[in-house]
Every structure is written in C-alpha cells, then in structure tokens.
A = this chain, B = another copy of it.
Amino acid sequence: MGTPIRAVIWNEFIHEQEHEAIRKIYPKGIHQVIAEALEKTGNFSVSTATLDQPEHGLSKELLENTQVLYWWGHIAHDKVQNEIVERVKQRVLEGMGLVVLHSGHYSKIFRSLMGTTCSLKWREAAEKERIWVIEPSHPIAQDLPVNEGGYFEIPHEEMYGERFEIPVPDELVFVSWFQGGEVFRSGCCWNRGAGRIFYFRPGHESYPTYYNTAVQKILVNAGYWAAERVKIQDRCPNSPALEPLPEPPAEFGQAGIVQNLEDIQ
C-alpha cells in the first residue's frame, strides 16, 4: 500500500470509564480496539484522541497531518467545543476523510456536514442485527467475511430505525434488518468539499461490536476509501475571462457600481 495512511481515532471515552460493564468490554476504550484493527493491517499509522484532552486532542497540527478521522461520541456531543468542530469541518472540506460511528449520528460535526437533524428511531434491546451488502462492488464492501447470501450478523446490538433524517447518500452500501421489525441505511457515503464521509451504524458501547471481524474489515476499508487524496483550499475567486469578451453596453459598464460591489461578494 506504500506510505501508511495517517488515521486518528477520536473517542468521547466516557462510558468506558464510568460504567464497569462497559469497561469490561472495552478496557482501554473503544478507540483502542479500532486503532488496533487498523494497525494490524500494516497500512495505517494510527493515533487516538479523546474529549478530555486539551483541544479534545485535535490540535491544528494533528489535523493538518491526518488523512482520515474516525469519530465515536454519544452522551457528550454538546461538550465538544464549537471551535474544534469548525476546525474539523474545515479539514473535511479541504479533503480529510471522516468516518462517523454509530451514535456519532448526533454529533455536531456530522450534523453540520449533513445540514439535517440526523434523527432516527432507536431501542436498546440487545437484539439481532443482520447487515445486508447492497453494493457488493463498492470498495468499502471489498473482501468482507460475509456468507454467500451477502450479509453478516451482529447477535446483540442497539436498534436504529428509519426514517434516518439524512440527505440522500451519494452511495448506499449497507442496509440493516432488525429482529424487532425495523430497517436502516447502515453504511452511507457522502462527499463534502474534497472530503469523503462514511457513516457506519453498528457500535453501541454495551456490546462487543468493534471486535467483530466484518465490522473491523469495514472500518479498514472505510479508511482506504476516505483517506485524503487531494487538498483543496476554500476560495471564491474573482476570475478573469478565459476568452475574449466584447465591451459591455454602456449601461452595464459604469464601473462605479461594479467596483463598489467587487470586494463584497
């Protein structure tokens, strides 16, 4: 794969510290399990960041050098500083990839990039989720350990159900079936600016979902797919004509108006 992809796993990291039952599942935090899943491919250079660090661990320097950022948050979305959200957003629009996980659907960064509420139905009943591959030729679905029917199962998960209040995905890769009767668009891709965003539904903190081999492969593939490949600066330039233009009619050529407005737009 050449140079490793520079990935950062961001985790709110509260449940694992406050609840014994969750610490048992993720003793070092969800972020560490995801980090290890990426690292063992040999194709990523991974670091982690958490809410309680200065700048939530997301300094300008770090983000500048990050090609793809994974985001797990749940009960402390409103504790993430707006300034850091804006910083992450600018990097996504410039080209950094963003992989939003599970309850991150309600994070400030995801809602800001989507422009919608990102609401959904939910239920915690430790029920079965069956994830169907809708686009088997999509890079994020490549080489998944799914059975020949084209799905894999997570035996116990939180339910998320439609209507998921998102813009129409640019690509829809996975759809979930839930034992309790719902469906959900579980793997969705969007482009925003030069950045690529992947939302992946599973991953409630109460279940060992991030140890699932299919889930890990999807997170790895998402990193390959979303990693920054081009950096674009925001600008809204006044651009000289590329072809010869006739003189405009006198009534439109009075420069006073135009010149007064030029620096405004």
Name A's B-contacting residues (CB within 8 A).
15, 19, 21-22, 74-75, 93, 95, 103, 106, 112-117, 119-127, 130, 132-137, 139, 141-142, 149-150, 156, 159, 161-163, 165, 167-168, 170-172, 175-183, 185, 190-196, 206-207, 229-230, 232, 234-243, 245, 248-249, 251-254, 256-258, 260-262, 264-265
Most chain B CB inside 10 Å of its own CB: which residue of A19, A121, A256 = A121
Cα of A196 to Cα of B177 in the assembled complex, Å: 27
- A146 → B minimal CB distance (Å): 11
Take A177-B177, A257-B206 as given contacts and tell me if A149 and B239 are in contact as well, using a CB distance cutoff of 8 Å. yes
Copies assembled: 4
Contact of A163 among B125, B133, B206, B260 (CB under 8 A): B133
From B117, B172, B254, give the contact of A172 (CB < 8 A).
B172
- Chain B, residue nearest A197 (CB): B115
> Bound complex: CA of A202 vs CA of B8, how far in Å?
41
CB distance from A117 to the nearest CB of B (A): 5
In the complex the two chains form, is A162's CB within 8 Å of B150's CB? yes
Is A239 within 8 A of B123, CB to CB? yes
Question: Is the CB–CB distance between B245 and A106 below 8 Å?
Answer: no
Which of B117, B122, B150 contacts A238, CB < 8 Å? B122
